[in-house]
Amino acid sequence: MDEERVTADQLAATWDSIRGQFFRGWNSDSWSCELSDLAQGKRLVCRVPEKQVYILPSLSPKELDRVIVHALCHARRGSGHEPFWSRRMAVIEQDALRRGLDDLAKGIREEIDGCEGTPDETEGLIFDWPLFPPRRPT
């Protein structure tokens, strides 16, 4: 039972660090993140109407940064493990490599490859919600 778990302080620090490094062009200040069993066995839940990300309390600290990147890409790009999401993930993978964050880049690649075709964790997505306009070139 000496399995290492994420603490609230680790979560808060990693949440701010990931947003500061990889989501600077997007004002995510109204989003928040907490440890919660509301994740219901998934590693994360991204609840759009409340702008809330829930992280499974038993998540390994080693997975925390990549799972936050994963959640914020849903927050930014909407539901589905489809190209709209995976392309955003891949941009951050490359950014992480440029910053010398090889472990994070590898983790993001595992998220992209491992989540293809799996059920999404995004809830309450409203299709006319202002942050999610129909797909168009960026």
| Positions in the binding site for Zn ion (CB under 5 A) | 121
Position closest to Zn ion via CB: 121
Contact status, residue 84 vs residue 78, Cβ threshold 8 Å:
yes
> CA 131 to CA 68: how far, in whole Å?
19
> CA 19 to CA 25: how far, in whole Å?
10
Instruction: Give the N- to C-terminal CA distance of the chain in Å, as an integer.
Output: 47
Hey, which residues does 123 pair with through a beta bridge? 47
- Beta carbons within 10 angstroms of residue 3's beta carbon: 6
Q: State the nearest-atom distance from the C-beta of 1 to Zn ion, in Å.
A: 29
Q: State the nearest-atom distance from the C-beta of 116 to Zn ion, in Å.
A: 10
Which lies closer to Zn ion via its Cβ, residue 6 or residue 71? 71
Q: State the nearest-atom distance from the C-beta of 64 to Zn ion, in Å.
A: 15
Q: Which of 36, 31, 70 is nearest to 51 (CA)?
A: 31
Which lies closer to Zn ion via its Cβ, residue 119 or residue 137? 119
Q: State the nearest-atom distance from the C-beta of 127 to Zn ion, in Å.
A: 18
Which lies closer to Zn ion via its Cβ, residue 4 or residue 87? 87
Which lies closer to Zn ion via its Cβ, residue 63 or residue 121? 121
